[in-house]
Chains A and B, each alone.
Chain A
Amino acid sequence: MTRRLSARAGAPGARILGFGDYRPRRIVTNEEISQRVDTDDEWIRTRVGIAERRFAGDDESVVDMSVAAAGKALATSGVLAQDIDTVIVATCTPPAPIPGLAPEVAHRLGIASAGAFDLNAACAGFCYGLASAADAIRSGSSQNALVIGAEKLTDWTDQDDRGTCIIFGDGAGAAVVTATDSPGIGPVVWGSDGEKSRAISVADRSSFMEMDGRAVYRWATTQLADSAHRACKLAGVDISDIDVFVPHQANLRIVDSMVRTLKLRDDVAVARDIVTSGNTSSASIPLALTAMIERGEVKTGDTALLLGFGAGLTFAGQVIICP
């Protein structure tokens, strides 16, 4: 007879207790970019909706930014570093593949021997990380988890390529997730389309990022609405119950197109952090949410729909209750 192993009892659900962000010091305006490449403020604003973005300096590594954002999320949530048992760093721009960044991030935060790993689902990374943390909590593997999205995309961007250099920025965002009796993170709807793996890619270690903007735009504006609706359905909410919509900040036109397609309520708070942050891949969703909470646009208990999508191609979406 096959031996049957015992399972751990998990919590009924997981919930986010607080968000935090780190925005690099240096602001790069469209003016500054147009001094280097042939473009201008109006062109950039109409094509992608970006006015400025942040570029991380030498003393603002992916680990540095992760530690800063996570420290802020811990402070906001009131959870002690020593009570964190799982650290997930979603990133597609680590300076090197070995070692993963999460163990060092945990160490620098004073978290001893946490389960720690990096996760690469590109711009969908934060939503994948959040789902992984929630599932780890529901299965009993974790009680309190840190989910971080952190990127230094400028390391991999050709600053002379006006197709990409106007879009990408740097930054980090983080969330503290905890076990709870009343679930505040809905089931994830995730998926991928590896046939389009070259749509956004870095060919090798000496290359910069290349992107087929048209293919990504078409995919994002036509294929993802159904997943967003399914995420709502699985969480037991109607699309009209959504108070806050936080899609990955890829392009303001994609955000606006999604708002139209999803038929959200007119008074929904929509994340448009891309205007001042650019596209920060896995960091974009927690960066946007932290700012919206700080500005008072998002209130405790609001129902938010998160939708990450990007290189892979990958996507993931879930409904959360805002802390």
Chain B
Amino acid sequence: MATTEEIQSGLAEILEEVAGVLPADATPEKSFTEDLDVDSLSMVEIATAVEDKFGVAIPDDELANISTVGDAVSFIEKNQS
């Protein structure tokens, strides 16, 4: 089981790789679309990468409810097995 810190840094790595977001910018309160300029298709790529990295699937309907980096971290934390 990954710790909150590990999830946060792992997610930051994915964000950098998929959407070119600087790790320092990927703080919990940031909105993917508003603050980090991540569009809906990049969100799908992030969801796929999260699944590969943490073994947590994020279906499209759940993905729609994730708006900030913090939302994503807590979703992964809650659903990792």
- Taking the nearest CB of chain A, how far is it from the CB of B24, in angstroms? 23
Question: Contact between B45 and A214 (Cβ–Cβ < 8 Å)?
Answer: no
**A215 touches B (CB below 8 Å):** yes
- Taking the nearest CB of chain B, how far is it from the CB of A249, in angstroms? 16
Report the nearest B residue to A220, measured CB to CB: B44
Report the nearest B residue to A46, measured CB to CB: B39
Report the nearest B residue to A47, measured CB to CB: B39
A221 and B39 in contact (CB under 8 A), knowing A214-B60, A214-B63, A215-B60?
no
Question: Contact between B39 and A217 (Cβ–Cβ < 8 Å)?
Answer: no
Which residues of chain B have C-beta atoms less than 8 A from A221's C-beta? 44-45, 48
Please indicate which of the listed interface residues A212, A213, A218, A251 has the most CB atoms of chain B within 10 Å of its own CB.
A218
Report the nearest B residue to A215, measured CB to CB: B60
Report the nearest A residue to B37, measured CB to CB: A46
CB neighbors of A among B32-56 (8 A): 39-41, 43-45, 47-48
Main secondary structure of the interface of A (DSSP, over half): helix
Interface residue count on the A side (C-beta < 8 Å):
13
Q: Bits for A10-53, please: 1 = Cβ < 8 Å to B, else 0.
A: 00000000000000000000000000000000000011000000
Which residues of chain B have C-beta atoms less than 8 A from A213's C-beta? 40-41
Tell me, in angstroms, the Cα distance from A251 to B41 when the chains sit together.
Answer: 11
Main secondary structure of the interface of B (DSSP, over half): helix
Report the nearest B residue to A43, measured CB to CB: B39
**A222 touches B (CB below 8 Å):** yes
- Taking the nearest CB of chain B, how far is it from the CB of A199, in angstroms? 10
- Taking the nearest CB of chain B, how far is it from the CB of A50, in angstroms? 14
Question: Contact between A218 and B47 (Cβ–Cβ < 8 Å)?
Answer: yes
Query: 18 pairs across A/B with beta carbons < 8 Å?
Result: A46-B39, A47-B39, A213-B40, A214-B40, A214-B43, A214-B44, A214-B60, A214-B63, A217-B44, A218-B44, A218-B47, A218-B60, A221-B44, A221-B45, A222-B48, A251-B41, A253-B41, A257-B45
Tell me, in angstroms, the Cα distance from A28 to B32 when the chains sit together.
Answer: 32
Tell me, in angstroms, the Cα distance from A46 to B42 when the chains sit together.
Answer: 11
Beyond A46-B39, A257-B45, 13 extra complex contacts between A and B, CB < 8 Å:
A47-B39, A213-B40, A214-B41, A214-B44, A214-B63, A218-B44, A218-B47, A218-B48, A218-B60, A221-B44, A222-B48, A251-B41, A253-B41
